[in-house]
Amino acid sequence: MPDDEQTQLAPMTAPYVPPQPLTLRINGSDHHLQVEPRVSLLDALRETLHLTGTKKGCDRGQCGACTVLVDGQRINSCLTLAVMHDGREITTVEGLGQDGQPHPVQQAFMDHDSFQCGYCTPGQVCSTVALLREIAEGQASAVTRGERPQGLSDDEIRERMSGNLCRCGAYQNIVAAIRSVAAAQG
C-alpha cells in the first residue's frame, strides 16, 4: 500500500478557548456570566439567561426577530458576540415596560393588532423604540436623503423598519401602530 493511503489525516478541530467572564447589564440588572467567546448575544440571552422574548429567526441578520437595544442602538443580536458587550446597557423586549405596564410601543402594537403569530413582534417593538429615538434626534434615513426628518411618513416608517420582517404580513398595522405612538409623542 502506498504511504499516502496509509497516512490518515487528523481531523481539524478548533482550539479550545475557555469560557470568558463578562458582565451584561440587561434591562437594568447586571448579569455575571462565563461564556465561550463564540457565543452570540442572542444565544447568551436565550440559552444562558432564559430571556426568550428575543427570538431566533434566521440566525443570519436578515429577519430582525432578534433585535435588541444596546446603549439605545438597535442591533441584530444574532450577529454579535456576547463578549463584545461586556458592561454595555442591553434592553430586550422584557425590559421595555415599567411597573407591570406595557411600554407605549407595546401598547400601540396591541391596540392596532400589529401582529398575527407574534414571532417577529419583540424585534419589531425594539426596533420601533429605536426608530422613535432616531426621529427625535433628527437622524436621517434613505427616505429623508440627508435632510432632517420632517414628521414621520409611512414611507419613512417602512424605510426605518426595513430590517424587520413579518412573515404574516401585518405591515399595515405595524405602520399604524408606529404612527400612533409618534403622534402621541408629538
First to last CA, the chain: 82
Burial class (CB in 10 A: 0-12, 13-18, 19+), 139: middle
Q: What are the angstrom distances between the C-alpha of 3 and each of 8, 84, 118?
A: 10, 47, 60
pLDDT one-digit tens code per residue, 30-42: 999 999 999 999 9
Lowest mean pLDDT of 9-18, 60-69, 159-168, name the range: 9-18
Which residue is associated with the grid cell 458582565?
Answer: 23
pLDDT band at residue 3 under the 50/70/90 scheme:
low
Residue 168, pLDDT > 80, answer yes
Q: How confident is the model at residue 143 (pLDDT cuts 50, 70, 90)?
A: confident
pTM: 0.87
User: In the prediction, which pLDDT does 4 show?
Assistant: 55
Percentage of the residues of the chain whose pLDDT score is greater than 70: 91
- The per-residue DSSP string of 77-140 comes to GGGSBGGGGTT-EEE-GGGTSBTTB--HHHHHHHHTT--SS-SSHHHHHHHHHHHHHHHHTT--
